[in-house]
Amino acid sequence: MADTVTVNDLLDGHAALDIECLDRIYLNGYVPNLQVGGQVVTFLTRHLGYPIPSPAVFAKLGASFRAAVATFAREKQIPVVRFGKDDRKIDVMRRYVDKQAATGESGVAAIGVAQEFQNVFDAAQRDVGTGVPWFSFYKTDRRVSCFYFYLWDADFGPAFIKVCAYFPYPIKVWVNGHEWAKRQATRAGIGFTELSNGFAACEDPAGLQVICDRLGPAQIEAFFESWCTRLPLPLNGTDRAAGYWWELSMRQIEISKTIVFDAPRHARAFFEALVADNLDVGRPDTVELVFTGKHERRGHPRKQPLTFKSKVVTRDTEVVVNAFYKHSRIKQYLKDGRALRIETVVNSPDDLRCHRRLQHLNELQAKARDVNARLLDTERVGQGCVLASPAFERVALPSVIDGRRAPALRFGDPRVMALLGALCVGLNALGFTHRSLRAQVNRLLGSAYTANQMSYDLGKLRLNGLIERREHTNTYTLTPDGQRVAIFYTKVHHRLLRPLLAADQPPAPAELRTALAAIDQHVHGYIDHARLGTAA
């Protein structure tokens, strides 16, 4: 039998480049003092000077903005593209962005126009008996015009700023951290080879990492402010001086760790080892390999695209391992067939206990990098756990720790095996609660598992030093010993005992079954010779 390839072998022996960087950055732009009805009235009356705060003003302001965009596009000779319902916007705009990039100068590549639902203000009119119309304002989702300014920026490369044409004019900003880092590395004279979205090789990895670490709120704010002075916007300098201007907050942030292997075959071997190791340990709900090639019939296009899946890793497949947590997720996949990409995709900063404003980006990035590192560390432990006899005895037998009796975690006990099997679930390496772990144990155990049993088992795990409770929370995390014990117990039970006990049946190798049959025959011969007979 050939030697089994492990994740640790590949990471320690074949990783040519390891870089952490912000990837896709998607931001909301909102006007803080235009978020409730009373603020709208103040804006229309005290700031703009209208005697009646009427929603008719919204239409007037929107028409003025749309006219300004049309004039801007005409004077600058910028293409205006109307997006179709099913258009993938980046695919439509790519040729325009590439054309602008070829000039080497910052500029608006094209303006996209779309009708989209946005959270904007509407008004309700009431009759108060004075003969003067009276309006109340409230937020609602309405289908309105949005302008996508697709840009090529000398610092950030491809980007876009989306502006809603209806009050209070919410904005979206999209940039890419890897594209920013590429341009800074070029200016610093650091040679590199590109991945499609990242780095494949670099002359100075340490210097490149310093550049990636430098990207933060200040650089993104500078980008936004620079384009605010060049684009037509529904708010102007007078509005800004009065305090009506956009503030940026985090909508979706991707923080990546990219490990480039020295040969594509090692990247494929990594994922084969990773997927194989997680098919039973932790019992994931789904493991999917999805074909990325186009498969389409002739004639009219399908309303729903076909999805092609396989259980075999072959060429032209994309392997993605996902772990979901609240609104966010961690994903792992092969990048361009030669690099491991780990991404923590934060769709709500609250998931990592961060505030949403852009000024907290550095804190969010630090926490997300820690998540990436812990996930990779869990996978390393999963394929490198060995428990020496004393360590095994410490948890497998009752013990006394700091004067308190720590009950044993008896190997083979169904409840213990279900408990430790649940701890092997990849997401639990990031943290779990009484409620979330109980649901997983209940599913693995296949029988009633009460809240009191969960509380007792959590106490047992804490006394044995396998989990720790985060201060001021009801969330627990696995200790390094906890990772090793959970994976060791589960692997020994699932990968050794079960197969060995069933080694006389297919799919065990024929040679092993033949050898066991010969041993069984000899054992029965000894029993007969001893005239012991068989149990009734």
Is the peptide bond preceding residue 398 cis, with omega within 30 degrees of 0? Answer: no
φ/ψ bin of 199: left (φ > 0), alpha (ψ from -120 to 50), beta (otherwise): beta
Q: Is the pLDDT of residue 272 over 70?
A: no
> Which is more confident, 442 or 13?
442
* Residue 315 confidence (pLDDT): 46
- CATH architecture of the domain 389-499 equals Orthogonal Bundle (1.10)
Q: Are 287 and 57 in contact (CB under 8 A)?
A: no
* Residue 320 confidence (pLDDT): 75
Place 501 in a pLDDT band, splitting at 50, 70 and 90.
low
Q: Are 171 and 183 in contact (CB under 8 A)?
A: no
C-alpha to C-alpha distance for 385 and 481, rounded to whole angstroms: 10
One-character DSSP codes across 467-522: EEEPTTSSEEEE-HHHHHHHHHHHHIIIIIIHHHHTTTSTTS-HHHHHHHHHHHHH
Looking at residue 360, the DSSP 8-state letter turns out to be G
* pLDDT tens digits for range 51-96: 989 999 999 999 999 999 999 999 999 999 999 888 899 999 999 9
* pLDDT tens digits for range 360-394: 999 999 999 988 888 787 777 666 556 566 666 77
> Which is more confident, 497 or 332?
332
* pLDDT tens digits for range 65-77: 999 999 999 999 9
Looking at residue 180, the DSSP 8-state letter turns out to be H
> Which is more confident, 293 or 130?
130
C-alpha to C-alpha distance for 439 and 432, rounded to whole angstroms: 11
Q: Is the pLDDT of residue 205 over 80?
A: yes
C-alpha to C-alpha distance for 36 and 137, rounded to whole angstroms: 8
Percent of the chain with pLDDT over 70: 79
Q: What are phi and psi of 165, to 5 degrees?
A: -85, 5
Q: Is the pLDDT of residue 298 over 60?
A: no
Looking at residue 283, the DSSP 8-state letter turns out to be -
Helix segments in 106-216, DSSP class H: 177-187, 205-214
CA distances from 70 to 161, 302, 358 (A): 16, 36, 31
Kindly give the interhelix angle for 414-423 and 434-445, rounded to the nearest 10 degrees: 130
Q: Is the pLDDT of residue 50 over 80?
A: yes
pTM attached to this predicted model: 0.76
Which range scores top for mean pLDDT: 157-166, 330-339, 435-444?
Answer: 157-166
> Which is more confident, 180 or 382?
180
* Residue 301 confidence (pLDDT): 54
Place 450 in a pLDDT band, splitting at 50, 70 and 90.
very high
Can you tell me the mean pLDDT for 197-220?
A: 95
Q: Which of 276-280, 370-374, 518-522 has the lowest mean pLDDT?
A: 276-280
Place 313 in a pLDDT band, splitting at 50, 70 and 90.
very low
Residue written as token pair 């117990």: 489
C-alpha to C-alpha distance for 250 and 252, rounded to whole angstroms: 6
Residue written as token pair 């258009």: 87
Q: Is the pLDDT of residue 177 over 90?
A: yes
Q: Are 257 and 379 in contact (CB under 8 A)?
A: no
